[in-house]
Amino acid sequence: MNARARITRYAADSRLIFDLGMNNGDDSLYYLQRGFNVVAIEANPVLCERATERLRPALDDGRLTIVNAAIWQKTGEATFYVNLNNDHWSSLEVGWAGRDASRYRKITARSVTLSDLFEKFGVPHYLKIDVEGADHSVLAQLQGSELLPLYVSVEDCRFGLQYMEMLADCGYDGFKLVDQSTIGHMINPATSEPFAAGSSGPFGADLPGEWLTHDDMVKFYSATVRDPAGNRLAPRSHWWDIHCTRRQTSGKQ
């Protein structure tokens, strides 16, 4: 029985956000500014050290937890490739980390599963997924959960249509597509200043536009980003995050 058939609950009342792929901490800072507690996951130890210094007050008051680990399909250790030209491209997959002939170095990282995080910290209100090559694994782990985040976002790639199908299978019935190349022109409602370019930008109720059904989202995506055969339609200067929610939350936590 899939998630559409069984009773699934959504963590509508949670005040927690998971930042999977923290990078420099821009997203975590925004979530903290919006009044949420944050668990930030980052495999690159150098970025964890920098974020620790940058976000020290939130760490000290217990609102932020930084976990130096890679999110993966099993608990233990994993080989992680740190991109030396663009730390946003670091990945568990060497092909992702070494794209465009960029340089990388190999490290051993602690690995954790989504279930590990849910068990230790609870199910978040919002789950941000931006983990270069491991996104599919995180979505697959979501499919087995009976309590899910109310909001989820995942970085689009050539598997975007498959990602949307997996999210719909979890019971999510509202979708938005956010052009990440425009984030630097969007305003952070907590500060009235523009979001940092390269950050993930707004989520949930802060997102512009109307929520689309899964079918309408597929039609829109297939006409603007990639066709059903996977051929890219949009300029490569644009990239997207797929956001989703459960609009009917009668089974909320």
In the chain, at which residue ranges do the beta strands (DSSP E only) sit?
Answer: 9-10, 16-20, 37-42, 64-68, 70-71, 76-83, 104-112, 126-129, 147-148, 151-155, 174-179, 187-188, 193-194, 240-245
Round to whole Å and give the CA distance between 53 and 137: 30
Go through the domains of the chain in sequence order and give each one's CATH number.
Answer: 9-245 (3.40.50.150)
φ/ψ (deg, to 5) at 110:
-65, 140
Are 18 and 128 a contacting pair, CB within 8 Å? yes
| Cα 233-234-240 angle, rounded to 5 deg | 120
User: In the Cβ-directed half-sphere of 210, how many Cα atoms lie within 13 Å?
Assistant: 6
pLDDT in tens, the chain (253 residues): 444 445 799 999 999 999 999 999 999 999 999 999 999 999 999 999 999 999 999 999 999 999 999 999 999 999 999 999 999 999 999 999 999 999 999 999 999 999 999 999 999 999 999 999 999 999 999 998 999 999 999 999 999 999 999 999 999 999 999 999 999 999 999 999 999 999 999 999 999 999 999 999 999 999 999 999 989 999 999 999 999 999 976 344 4
Q: Looking at this protein, which amino acid is placed at residue 74?
A: K
Are 153 and 203 a contacting pair, CB within 8 Å? yes
Query: Three-state SS for 178?
Result: strand
202-to-74, 124, 127, 182, 183 alpha-carbon distances in Å: 30, 16, 13, 11, 8
